[in-house]
Structure 1
């Protein structure tokens, strides 16, 4: 089955929320919820009627690393949602992510001359979503390439180089 992977959230990146305040996620913000929460779903555009996968079914893998909240989704091509996700993400019409959560811990900096800055240090995570308008523009979603795809590309590149060399020598 094809896989879509990327970052639903990235640590340290600052974004503006509704023109009212700036926000960033601290490293470790997802650690507790990933340990304690038995089920997180992946949706299309925060729509609970368009489920792409879930951790309890083994179709969605989530982990926190040094960059942020990484995901890998096994896409079901037999569903309309899976087909839509594959099509729009492969074409790069959709290339970002968002997440549904409740803040458990945060701290604020008044911002001085800038908008106040909220740093989220702990969340209850309910869902991640592939979306065309992510709150954090540095998130990502892309078709994960398999080892056989990469091997095929390498063979094609090698063949093209060999053919170009033969053309330069007048063989082709």
Structure 2
């Protein structure tokens, strides 16, 4: 059996999580909703590099304070909806990790990401459009904080927690 991938996400502060998770529970197809709301940074890190990844994440979390973000709008990505998030310090952290892991990144992971919290995915286009319209109608920009890096094992279905690394540095 081939090794499964590791997935790296950002975790939310409690108020942001309380705002976003109910949207995900309401709109995300239950059969595909394996983990709480998150922001994906990397989706195919090789599981055989877990020791290196864990060490790098521990070091990164020790260097960085929680990362402030702005929720700026609703994203349309065809078969779903997401909340767009702007966070220059998270983009810089992602770039640093890409540089450190370039030798092991897939093509899809070796690129800049538009940060977003997916609240719906893999639904038909009409359902997605209706959700996007509903979310836009009630959307007001707001601010929050990414409080941790979270690593997950992907095993073809539910994700398994592989480590949580709270940001605890003094500055971004």
Larger radius of gyration: 1
Higher strand share: 1
Shorter-normalised TM range: under 0.3
TM-score, normalization: structure 1? 0.26
TM-score, normalization: structure 2? 0.26
